[in-house]
Structure 1
Amino acid sequence: MKRFDDGGGAPAGRYGEAVFRPEQAGEDERIDLGALAYDAFTLARLTELGVGPGWHCLDVGAGTGTVARLLLERAGVAEVLAVDRDVRFLRAHPVPGLTALEADITDPEFMPGRFRLVHARFVLMHLRSWRQVLDRLVSLLAPGGILVLGDAVDLTTAAAPDTPYSRVMGAMWQGLHDTLGTDVSWVPDYPRHLRAAGLTSVAAEIQVPPLLPGSPISRFWADTWERAREAMTATGLVDDATIDAAIRYLDAPECAALSPGLLTAWGTARA
């Protein structure tokens, strides 16, 4: 089903422009549904890595700022610089110690300082220049600092039954690739890429929230498919009726499928 490639022309747009526009009603709620599904995993990993009082942190692609606020309120870090190309949602929820910076991390001149923690979740997968951005994020680490990156890993196998859910999930990845340049095919190799970037103590884990009727992750995918509907149908892999059937399936008691997982990888800069 997938037909991703690394070449070809530039995508038609960018995240937040062609699809998932922040001015679209309810986009902050969609982002928060993803946060409800994954924030506990992310915070647990960050605290297990020692993130805590006195740390100066950078949160890239911060969205509505849920991770940044958890770092301040639960982990007790000193400061979080939260970066996004559009910071309207960050500015809507100010807290002490949180600074919002509107910036483009693909800009070669992006250098806001050095940090003990650099974190990004569901960001690099949407960038065709992810290799260069990864190297740039490594360069923002203070000596001994930790880079923590998370992106989606597609768990749909070739042996999976041909259902509206599997067809729509495949069409979503293809539609986002065609429209934004999104590519999750390289994500399972995150540890190798972090090691190649010069980091030490590299490791990774995967979390897969259960698809249950009414759960945050099920609602997140339903909202995501609605927003990406045009990009998905343009692939020719699905039509509106198939998308509608997949959305109904997510909320049905007979739902028996795996959500894409969150692969979190980390490594430490040399002191």
Structure 2
Amino acid sequence: MANDPSVAHDPPPYGAEVFAFSHPAQTERLDSLGDLCDPATTADLARWDLPAGARCLEIGAGTGSLALWLADRCPDGEVTATDTDLRFLSRLRHPALRVLRHDVRTQGFPPGSFDLIVARSVLCHVPARTELPARMVSWLRPGGRLYIEDPSFFPAASSPDPVVRRLGDAVTTTLAASLGSDVAAWARSFPAPLGGLGLAELGMRVHCPTLTATNAAGRAWALSVADLLPAMTRAGALSEAGGTRALAHISRPGFVDIAHAMIAMWGVRPLTRHTEPRYAG
């Protein structure tokens, strides 16, 4: 029965086979994504005051650049940085930083644990993504904020460049087939997934970075596609030769396009209960 192809099995988690933590270029790929995303994410988070001694949680902290930024901002508090594999986080040192092995799919935290919860490029890769925001809200203290940010490849789908369109479609298709990811419609639906959770100050932000051969987006795309290429070939989304040509295309001098969008949504657990979500813009 275990090998019966008619029996449905959950896809392997992010980091096990696809974007494997053991891949020799994984640190560089994650660092490139941090260089791409950190400026917009930290600009959002810097807008909001945190209480003295704030307790913060970053789910899926990767190589820890955002967790370290939070720790610098909350030196008298505590920042818990989690991931399913800690090889990139265990090297970090900061008096306000705690590193914890944690799988958000199956593990939780006590109610009212945190003043801020951040999950970036996490929920899009979890098949049960729609169930998680409600659980995460329960981990917030009254007045605490939930911040979720995920990619959507809709800019690639509308590119005038057929190679970029094909590459974006191959990434979207392959991640869906291999991980159960949604990097198309999920983030594009924001902030609706927070509606009905009793949150105040609902808001969202969209960032569409420029894609060139040499910037952070270009490095992240090149490293991600190279990592995904075997899975793309298995899924029939892009041949090895087609992937090699696409990588050469986006690496050529003078290449420019729009990368995937990074879309963030947030909301605050109110100090008193209310029934209607309030969008703050």
TM-score computed with the length of structure 1 as normaliser: 0.90
SS in 2 for 1:186: helix
**Alignment gaps of 5+ in structure 2:** 1-6, 272-281
Corresponding residue number in structure 2 for 1:111: 109
Q: Is the 8 A contact 1:211 1:257 kept in 2?
A: yes
Using a 3 Å threshold, how does the CA distance of structure 1 residues 77 and 260 change in structure 2: closer, same or farther? Answer: farther
Using a 3 Å threshold, how does the CA distance of structure 1 residues 47 and 158 change in structure 2: closer, same or farther? Answer: closer
Distance in 1, matches of 2:254 and 2:28, equals 26
Q: Is the 8 A contact 1:11 1:178 kept in 2?
A: no
Distance in 2, matches of 1:215 and 1:265, equals 25
Distance in 2, matches of 1:155 and 1:189, equals 12
Using a 3 Å threshold, how does the CA distance of structure 1 residues 211 and 148 change in structure 2: closer, same or farther? Answer: same
Aligned counterparts, 1:71-90, within 5 A: 71-74=70-73, 76=75, 78-90=77-89
2:19 is the alignment partner of 1:20: yes
Which structure's CA Rg is the greater one?
2
Corresponding residue number in structure 2 for 1:189: 189
Distance in 2, matches of 1:159 and 1:125, equals 21
Corresponding residue number in structure 2 for 1:229: 229
* Deviation by residue 1:192-216 (Cα, 9 ceiling, x = unmatched): 1112222111010111221122111
**Alignment gaps of 5+ in structure 1:** 1-7
**TM superposition shift of 1:49:** 2.2
SS in 1 for 2:217: helix
Q: Is the 8 A contact 2:213 2:256 kept in 1?
A: no
User: Could you say what the CA RMSD is over the residues aligned between the two structures, in angstroms?
Assistant: 1.9
Using a 3 Å threshold, how does the CA distance of structure 1 residues 158 and 110 change in structure 2: closer, same or farther? Answer: closer
Using a 3 Å threshold, how does the CA distance of structure 1 residues 234 and 162 change in structure 2: closer, same or farther? Answer: farther
TM-score computed with the length of structure 2 as normaliser: 0.87
Corresponding residue number in structure 2 for 1:248: 248
Q: Which stretches of structure 1, 4 residues or longer, exceed 3 Å deviation after superposition?
A: 8-12, 74-77, 156-162
Distance in 1, matches of 2:125 and 2:245, equals 26
* Deviation by residue 1:21-69 (Cα, 9 ceiling, x = unmatched): 1122121111010000110111110011224753210000011111110
Distance in 2, matches of 1:97 and 1:207, equals 29
**TM superposition shift of 1:100:** 0.6
**TM superposition shift of 1:230:** 1.4
Q: 1:140 is aligned with what amino acid?
A: W
Using a 3 Å threshold, how does the CA distance of structure 1 residues 125 and 159 change in structure 2: closer, same or farther? Answer: closer
Distance in 2, matches of 1:131 and 1:98, equals 29
Aligned counterparts, 1:1-271, within 5 A: 9-51=8-50, 53-74=52-73, 76=75, 78-107=77-106, 109-111=107-109, 114-156=113-155, 160-161=159-160, 163-184=162-183, 185-271=185-271
SS in 2 for 1:234: helix
Percent of counterpart pairs with the same letter? 30
